[in-house]
Amino acid sequence: MIQLILSNSARQTTTSARSFLLSSYIVNGTKTTLATSSQTRWKAMGVTARVFSTSTAASDARSRLEMAEAALKEFEKKHEEEKKKHEEEKKKLEEEKKKLEKKLEEEKKKLKDKRDLWESILTDALRAPKAKRTIEDSFPNGLPYINPDSKMLLNTSGAKWDYQLSDELCHQLRHNLMRHYNYYIKNERDKSTMPTYFFLAGAGTGKSRNAAEFHLTTINCLPTTMNGAHELHKRLNNAWVFYTTLENGIPWTSTDEPDQYKAIGSRMLYQLLHDTTTWNDILETYEAPTPEDILCLVAKHYILNSHDTLSTGKNLTSAVTQYLSNATVILVVDGLQKFMSNQNDRQDKFYQTLSQIGSLWSTNAFVLPCCTATITSPIKTFIKDSHQCYIFLPVTSLKVPTKNSVPIFQINDPIMKVLISDCGGHGRAIETLETCLSGCDIRDCDASVLMNDLHTSLIKNYSEAISSMTATDALAIVKATLTCQLLKADQVVPGTTKCPEEFAQPGLICYERLDDSNEGYLVLPYIWFWILMEQYRRASKFNQQEELFQRWNFDDYNEHLSKQEGDPIVCWQAFEKFNAKIRVFKSQMLEEGELTSLARIHVGARLKGNISFKNHHLILDKAVKQTKTSTTAKNSNNWNVECEKCTVNAREGRYCIINATGAPVADYFLCLDADKALNE
């Protein structure tokens, strides 16, 4: 690069100088340096010029720049190498860290496993049961007999009621008890003559209460005038009574007590030690004994505490056997169904236990085993055929309960009578009613609300039994009940696949046999009738004739109350309507076109002769005007009656007509489809 400085005086020669300069400076496009002669020439022309050459400096700068760039590149290269090396080292460190962390976790896991193992070993060592002792070693002098606690079997509100001993139970027990004792004293003892007594029924029907009263019942049912009854009476008054339960606070489980028979023995031991130990202590401290072991333990106590112990030279074992021959034992086993995995379980283990219970007579004592079980199927499906003697005692319906001979309900109140009646003598239902009424005066209660509460509680308590019943079964039961259909015990209820006893076993329905025959009737308390019809209504679609089912108001207790307190005319009209609805309801229970009779429709009514007719599913309506109901020549074929819904021909036999208010005769009437014109 060349820098020129021109003075003002030489500015006129600029053009020629510039041309000269260019010709001297640029040669073939190459930069050159001005010669001294040229500079002299510039001076002669009066031009002051200073030309600095920077080529050397530029070259040096370029060299330095190139060196700097090279150094920079070298630095960057080294930096990248260092960075790469650093990244590799970092990656190695990360990998090493992960390996160390993994190894650390593995070591932690090993330590945890070792710790858990030792904890388990130590825990098992701490929890390991102490060596259990036999009752012979624990009580070398035996144990005295202790009376049972009545609360062991039941502790519901019904336990405080006066016990109601039924004539049927008393009669059956008296007969079998005397026969049992006669076989015993004659030494005719085997499984066919030494019975086990059973109370088998549905839940809440009073099995446990009957079992708790079994001892007193055996005493009260025996008249002292019977041959041999006096000696038996004496024995029963001094009996050792044991209450054992497989539920109610000390439930049985196969895990804790794999031997069912010894589970009964453990509960007998618990009764003897109940005041000084707990049930858990019994399980953890003693080897489970058999019932025979317990009887021998008690006998041993009285033998060793007698002043003339072993005076005849007998050893202790024979002395115990001799002592037990004068002992009477009543063993109650409550909740026997717990030993079964399900109602259809006929496992050998369960029947082995039953056989062992029934063989307690082998101890030489007069033993009366009494077992209870909740069943929802016929007895024959619960107890398989066996040569073992079983006596099935009745569980009867309750009357109005009392405490100290005082009724627990306000039975003088009309609506209270209806409520109790609708429970049908079912123990659990009456207990639930008592709970619903607790602290209330029936006169201040809404009867419908009360019964709805009862209804809801019973459905909850008996959900299993109710849900197992199909809508078809429910309708068939209602049909058989309302029409008082005579049913054979060993034949299925029409319209179902079950026999009467199968429906009766849960305890909601009763099957009452005629004397000792194989026939009887289903009896359905109103509260269960209500529940069953709801079961049917929820699961069924209704045709026009069945609309009454859908519209039926089962919760009609306030209407009952109005009958007691309201207008007599209104009350009577309500009663008329109720009777008419029942008649329509009964017609729905029979098949359309089925041949039936007035005696079957109105069971128990006084009839002047019986009339057969063809059944029709009736439709309920009400006459607009008061209607005379006698048959005349005019209405013998066609009898048009103006009703609220429409005018109907009563002679078709398809209408049940409520007569208009104030009619002199017939609250309701209908025509029968018979050979000749007949009215009902």
Residue 270 parent element (H or E): helix 260-273
Q: Are 334 and 247 in contact (CB under 8 A)?
A: yes
Backbone angle region of 204, left / alpha / beta, with phi > 0 → left and psi within -120 to 50 → alpha:
left
Total domain count, the chain: 5
- The tokens of 274 are what? 């109940």
> What DSSP assignment string belongs to 572-598?
HHHHHHHHHHHHHHHHHHSPTT-EEEH
Q: Are 423 and 204 in contact (CB under 8 A)?
A: no
Is residue 531, in this structure, part of any structural domain at all? yes
Tell whether 564 is covered by a domain: no
Token pair 């060596």 is found at 131
> Which residue range is the domain that position 649 belongs to?
572-679
User: What pLDDT is stored for residue 9 in this prediction?
Assistant: 44
Structure confidence at residue 186 (pLDDT): 94
The answer to whether residues 65 and 48 belong to one domain is no
Do residues 309 and 419 both lie within one domain? no
- Domain end (from 392, 416, 442): 392
Under 8 Å CB-to-CB from 125, ≥6 apart: which residues?
none
| Confidence at residue 469, expressed as pLDDT on a 0 to 100 scale | 80
On whether residue 668 sits in a domain, the answer given is: yes
pLDDT of residue 37: 47
Per-residue DSSP letter, 27:
E
pLDDT at residue number 50:
45
Do 287 and 384 fall within a single domain? yes
Q: Give the chain's residues under pLDDT 70.
A: 1-55, 125-130, 224, 307-314, 341-348, 376-385, 516, 537-575, 604-609, 676-680
pLDDT score recorded for residue 111: 86
Q: What pLDDT does residue 643 have?
A: 92
User: CB 235: neighbour CB atoms within 10 A?
Assistant: 16
Q: Which helix (H) or strand (E) holds 369?
A: strand 366-374
Same domain, 491 and 464: yes
Q: What is the pLDDT of residue 24?
A: 42
Final residue before a domain boundary, out of 93, 124, 155: 124
Q: Give yes or no: residues 14 and 83 share one domain.
A: no
The region that residue 463 occupies, defined by phi over 0 for left and psi between -120 and 50 for alpha, beta otherwise, is alpha
Task: Single out the residue in 124, 152, 172 at which a domain terminates.
Answer: 124
Residues in CB range of 10: below 8 A, 6 or more apart: 17, 45, 46, 47, 48
Per residue in 269-295, pLDDT (tens digit) is: 999 998 899 999 999 999 999 999 999
Q: Looking at the structure, tell me whether residues 180 and 290 fall in a common domain.
A: yes
- What's the rounded Cα separation, in Å, for the pair 653 and 616? 7
The DSSP-derived string for 331-358 is EEEE-GGGGSSSTT---HHHHHHHHHHH
Domain-located, residue 228: yes
User: What's the pLDDT score for residue 307?
Assistant: 62
Q: Which residues contact 379 (CB under 8 A, 6 or more apart)?
A: 200, 392, 501, 505
Same domain membership, residue 260 and residue 152: yes
Structural tokens at position 169: 């139970």
Contact indicator for 268, 244 with CB cutoff of 8 Å: yes
Q: Do 358 and 406 reside in the same domain of the chain?
A: no
Q: Where are the beta strands (DSSP E) in 265-313?
A: none
Domain match, 507 and 578 both: no
Judge whether 325 lies within some domain. yes
User: Does residue 565 sit within a domain?
Assistant: no
Please state, in angstroms and as integers, the Cα–Cα distance from residue 483 to each residue in 480, 524, 588, following that order.
Answer: 5, 12, 10
Same domain, 329 and 225: yes
Hey, what are 124's tokens?
């098992």
Backbone φ/ψ region at 291: left (φ over 0), alpha (ψ -120 to 50), beta:
alpha
Inter-axis angle of helices 526-539 and 414-423, nearest 10: 60
Q: Which residue has the tokens 């459905």?
A: 459
pTM (predicted TM-score): 0.65
Residue 3 lies in a domain: no
Verify that 161 and 118 share a domain, yes or no: no
Say what the pLDDT of residue 347 is.
Answer: 59
CA–CA distance, 420 with 433 (Å, rounded to integer): 8
Judged on CB neighbours under 10 Å (0-12, 13-18, 19+), 155 is: middle
Looking at the domain assignment, is residue 2 inside a domain? no
For residues 190 and 336, membership in a common domain is answered with yes
* Residue 121 to residue 32: CA distance in whole angstroms: 104
